[in-house]
Amino acid sequence: MGPWACYQHGTQSTDEVTIRKAESQRGESGTSYLIYTEDDRTFAMNDAWSLGHFSSSDLYGKIVEGKRYKITYYGERIYFMSLYPNIIKAKEIKQ
């Protein structure tokens, strides 16, 4: 297992968040998805091959602004590299 796979596996966490805004950004390397939460955090939503997660577009399409979700993500915000924690699962919390 390479260093990136160790990072993805070793930094996984879960949390409950309310989505403030969700947006897609088209760049040279494809589309990236950013999720902003009401507690002022920013997450990415990208495929993670070493975790078997290939459906970030589908997951992003199910996110609704203003709703609360239980998310599973890996990583940390690394400012100088423009990296965000990456959401790999999101399940709406019914209230």
Q: What is the mean pLDDT of residues 60-80?
A: 95
DSSP 79: G
User: What pLDDT digit, counting tens, does each position of 35-66 carry?
Assistant: 999 999 999 998 887 777 788 999 999 999 99
Q: Which amino acid does the sequence have at 7?
A: Y
Q: Are 18 and 71 in contact (CB under 8 A)?
A: no
pTM, entire model: 0.88
Percent of the chain with pLDDT over 70: 99
CA dihedral 5, 57, 18, 22 (to 10 degrees): 120
